[in-house]
């Protein structure tokens, strides 16, 4: 199972970017109450995203909205693990979005193909939890914590500081025995950045890829950086998000994390046809 991460990045995806569909399983996505209906929903949503062309799915059990409270590990496991077991029968690479070493460990045992840690594997025990496996690891930049990151984001040179953070974290992981080719990097759009910071990072994504030397994952979908320039509320940000995904791929992203899979896949197909002979 873990090997599907590398497969997702090679094969047909070596020339085409990977579209990773977002599957939120936070309680409000169990809006109809029961966990079972939630699982039914998760499975049908995953099948829909695969049919629409997603080759990876990101399963997240903890909301990371600015100011959101942290979820106890038992609760996060109770949300993530049933979904992971339900989805691992599908022909798709599975990414689990968590910062907790205990959740990482269980997710890997259950066959997760990638661990997606918005905290850059900085929690005590996080690197140990993922070391003895071969699953992919997404290393994301965040300034401060979800509780404080949007209070007053500040940088001297945001691109240089994000590059430096990623380089230091990659070296720390390699030092602790993590194979470098398991890692993809992510500037963390919206995690302790102003709109201007986010667009500077997007414009210089290729420099980030070159200077850190690893595949880039970009997650702009429906975020406030899209809303800020379109004036659209979250549910009306599809066109802006698709444009953001194209821009990210044009600037070197290998994986784009999106809500609107069908629209993004179609746009990337046309983009590819227009830019590759
Ligand atoms: C788990 N996760 C998230 S959650 C935040 C989010 O989607 N907010 C949001 C969603 C919809 C509307 C407004 C904001 N963003 C990233 C990312 O950019 N990269 C990686 N690797 N993982 C990520």
pLDDT digits (tens, 9 = 90+) for 137-149: 999 999 988 889 9
Q: Is 186's C-beta closer than 6 angstroms to any atom of ligand 1?
A: yes
* Closest C-alpha residue for ligand 1 atom 1: 97
pLDDT for 69: 78
Which residue of 58, 65, 257 sits with most ligand 1 atoms within 8 Å of its CB, as the best mutation to test the pocket? 257
pLDDT for 259: 97
Identify the band that residue 70 occupies on the pLDDT scale cut at 50, 70 and 90: confident
Contact between 140 and 115 (Cβ < 8 Å): no
Chain segment 26-66, per-residue pLDDT in tens: 665 554 556 667 888 899 999 999 999 999 999 987 777 77
As a three-state string, the secondary structure of the chain is: CCCHHHHHHCHHHHCCCEEEEEEECCHHHHCCCCHHHHHHHHHHHHHHHHHCCCCEEEEECCCCCCCCCCCCHHHHHHHHHHHHHHHCCCCCEEEEECCCHHHHHHHHHCCCCEEEECCCCCCCCHHHHHHCCCCEEEEECCCCCCCCCCCCCCCCCHHHHHHHHHHHHHHHHHHCCCCHHHEEEECCCCCCCCHHHHHHHHHCHHHHHHHHCCCEEECCCCCHHHHHHHCCCHHHCHHHHHHHHHHHHHCCCCEEEECCHHHHHHHHHHHHHHHCC
Q: Is 138's C-beta closer than 6 angstroms to any atom of ligand 1?
A: yes
Q: Which residue has the higher pLDDT, 119 or 38?
A: 119
Going from the Cα of 96 to the center of ligand 1, the distance in angstroms, rounded, reads 13
Q: Is 219's C-beta closer than 6 angstroms to any atom of ligand 1?
A: yes
Query: 169, 223, 237, 254: which is the annotated catalytic residue?
Result: 223
Question: Is the predicted pLDDT of residue 86 greater than 70, yes or no?
Answer: yes
Q: Is 188's C-beta closer than 6 angstroms to any atom of ligand 1?
A: yes
Question: Is the predicted pLDDT of residue 240 greater than 80, yes or no?
Answer: yes
Going from the Cα of 275 to the center of ligand 1, the distance in angstroms, rounded, reads 28
Going from the Cα of 179 to the center of ligand 1, the distance in angstroms, rounded, reads 25
Question: Is the predicted pLDDT of residue 4 greater than 80, yes or no?
Answer: no
Question: Is the predicted pLDDT of residue 252 greater than 70, yes or no?
Answer: yes
Mean pLDDT, range 122-132, rounded to an integer: 97
Q: Which residue has the higher pLDDT, 236 or 8?
A: 236
- How does 114-149 read in b/e, with b if 16+ C-beta sit within 10 Å? bbbbbbbbebeebbebbeebebbbbbbbbbeebeeb
Mean pLDDT, range 82-92, rounded to an integer: 95
Going from the Cα of 22 to the center of ligand 1, the distance in angstroms, rounded, reads 9
257 annotated active-site? yes
């Amino acid at each position: 199972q873990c090997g599907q991460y590398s497969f997702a990045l090679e094969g047909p995806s070596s020339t085409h970017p990977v579209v990773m569909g977002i599957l939120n399983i936070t309680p409000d996505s169990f809006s109809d109450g029961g966990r079972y209906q939630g699982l039914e929903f998760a499975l049908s949503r995953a099948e829909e995203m695969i049919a629409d062309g997603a080759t990876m799915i990101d399963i997240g059990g903890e909301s990371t909205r600015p100011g959101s409270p942290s979820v106890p590990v038992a609760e996060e496991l109770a949300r993530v693990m049933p979904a992971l077991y339900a989805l691992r029968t599908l022909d798709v690479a599975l990414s689990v979005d968590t910062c907790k070493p205990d959740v990482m460990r269980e997710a890997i045992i259950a066959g997760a193909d990638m661990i997606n840690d918005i905290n850059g594997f900085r929690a005590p025990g996080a690197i140990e939890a993922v070391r003895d496996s071969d699953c992919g690891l997404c290393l994301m930049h965040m300034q401060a914590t979800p509780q404080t990151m949007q209070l007053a984001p500040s940088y001297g040179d945001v691109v240089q500081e994000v590059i430096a953070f990623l380089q230091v974290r990659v070296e720390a992981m390699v030092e602790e025995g993590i194979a470098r080719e398991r890692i993809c990097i992510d500037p963390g759009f919206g995690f302790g950045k102003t709109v201007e910071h986010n667009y500077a990072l997007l414009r210089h994504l290729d420099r980030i890829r070159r200077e850190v030397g690893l595949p880039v994952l970009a997650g702009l979908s429906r975020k406030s950086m899209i809303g800020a320039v379109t004036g659209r509320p979250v549910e009306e940000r599809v066109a802006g998000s698709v444009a953001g995904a194209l821009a990210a791929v044009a600037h070197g992203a290998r994986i784009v994390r999106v809500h609107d899979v069908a629209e993004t896949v179609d746009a990337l197909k046309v983009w590819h046809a227009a830019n590759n002979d």
